[in-house]
Structure 1
Amino acid sequence: MTATFAPPYTAPDDLLPTLRAQGFAVLDAAGVRAWLGLTAEALRALEPAWDDLPPDEYLRDGGRYRRRRHGCYRVEGEAVLPVPHRAHYQPVEYNALHGGMRRWFAPLTPALTGQPAWPRLLAAVAAVAGALRGPQPWFLEAHPFRIDTTGGIGRPTPEGAHRDGVDVVAVFLVARHAIKGGESRVFEADGPRGQRFTLTEPWSLLLLDDARVIHETTPIQPLREGEPGWRDTLVLTVRGGGFLGDDGA
């Protein structure tokens, strides 16, 4: 039996001090609700969108285990402004497996973006970037993912331990169903220290200062033979100065 390690949860009031001290912070679901000022019902209303994610057609490892959509926003304070649908781009130095190409994923749907909780989520994560780097317009990319156990294994981060080339990364665990694995690992970008833990609670959160840490999630496998399993997440990345690929980065 595989051992799991409990997440190092912090209180919402300690979110920014913890993030500044160690480069990452973890909130449980109650902490996320308190931080966002949202009810559990408001967050659950987002979840049906994960049943409508098309396959990722760009996986270079030949896998069929990932489904996703993609959307982009400019955030200024509480103003969350969608931008025209665009490709997702990462340089090869941040994603050795899929970097260097413009990937056109299916856009987000109104079933997700029309929920009242949606702009609040985006504005709150952008505000963290503002607290760390100073007020400015923020360029946010939203990625709802489903990793499933098609073929017996699913890889949340097939590129391995990495940075995303942004200022802040937020990883919300939306759901886990009939799986084992999926351990989060966070390491200092320029030092020896790291932590490992498994997010299991729906709407718990791992928040990362991308300049200071690298991260990965271990593969998932079915909990019971013959029963499909999956892991749903919402990944938000926030960057100052423009989207990756627009400024030569």
Structure 2
Amino acid sequence: MHAQEFQPPYTPIAYGVTTLRQNGYALLHAADVQAWLAATADELGAVHAGWNALPADAYLKDGGRYRRRRHSSFVVEGEQVRLVPHRAHWQPLEYNALHGGMQRWFEPMLPQTVALPVWSRLLARVGETVSALHGERPWFVEAHTFRIDTAGGIGRPTPEGAHRDGVDLVAVFMLDRHAIKGGESRVFEANGPAGQRFTLREPWSLLLLDDARVIHETTPIQPLSPDELGWRDTLVLTYRRDGFQES
């Protein structure tokens, strides 16, 4: 733990849903997540391998070139996970003042990633959590694979600032931090003063957010050394009832 960082408020996975109900968010240890997914380190590594082939995000309105990403959409119903035809990512301005109102056509996730058995298992497990929170139903899931880098000196994981996503649950998997400082996660009550701040460092630790109750952001990252490229890899899943957000 770095001296100036706040201790991440990890929750035992057995109390994850209870903590979500109480606080609007829950943070799970990587070892608990791996056991929950019944996944080996090699299986999780096969998922993360796709992050080395992420195209640049061409839609950044701040003019930055620090974000690479892919995007695919799924319907999750119990153990059944179905990839839907490729579609644009769209958010209303109400939830994303910077990039809302735009149809953003990102490249889809790699077929070899989506075909991994652990990938469907991962989507189904998170689906169980949101069903425990909001009732069982089909969930409309958008998967975002992000790499934020320091090629321009600074990278912004959430250039839109503190926000909600307009969904029922947000799941943020930390996958990798390389040669960076910063990237502090901040979670605040949407309708109150309470908040938490901490830095995700464990690969495959998981932050779950009840999107109606909290807003969230991640602070910018900078390189530890001006001579070395740094990056921060995350997988972000959003679960929404009654359909995808559409323009």
Q: What TM-score do the two structures reach when normalised by structure 2?
A: 0.97
1:68 maps to what in 2?
Answer: 69
2:246 maps to what in 1?
Answer: 245
1:68 & 1:148 partners in 2: Cα distance? 11
Cα deviation, residue 174, structure 1? 0.7
Structure 2 residue identity aligned to 1:15: G
Structure 2 residue identity aligned to 1:135: E
Is it true that 1:82 corresponds to 2:83 in the alignment? yes
Structure 2 residue identity aligned to 1:79: Q
Cα deviation, residue 114, structure 1? 1.9
2:213 maps to what in 1?
Answer: 212
Cα deviation, residue 47, structure 1? 1.4
**Identity rate, percent:** 67
Q: What TM-score do the two structures reach when normalised by structure 1?
A: 0.97
Cα deviation, residue 127, structure 1? 1.4
The superposition leaves residues 77-103 of structure 1 with CA deviations (integer Å, 9 ceiling, x where unpaired) of 000001000000000000000000110
In structure 2, list runs of 5 or more residues that go unmatched.
none
Q: Runs ≥4 in structure 1, deviation > 2 angstroms?
A: none
Alignment of 1:1-249 (within 5 A): 3-245=4-246
User: Is the 1:166–1:237 contact (alpha carbons within 8 Å) kept by the matching residues of 2?
Assistant: yes
The superposition leaves residues 161-216 of structure 1 with CA deviations (integer Å, 9 ceiling, x where unpaired) of 00000000000001000000000000000000000000001001100000000000
2:237 & 2:65 partners in 1: Cα distance? 23
1:245 & 1:74 partners in 2: Cα distance? 15
The superposition leaves residues 37-79 of structure 1 with CA deviations (integer Å, 9 ceiling, x where unpaired) of 2222211121110000000000000000000000000111000
Structure 2 residue identity aligned to 1:105: F
Cα deviation, residue 125, structure 1? 1.2
Q: How many residues align?
A: 246
1:126 & 1:98 partners in 2: Cα distance? 27
2:231 & 2:187 partners in 1: Cα distance? 22
The root-mean-square deviation of aligned C-alpha atoms, in Å, is 1.1
1:44 & 1:106 partners in 2: Cα distance? 21
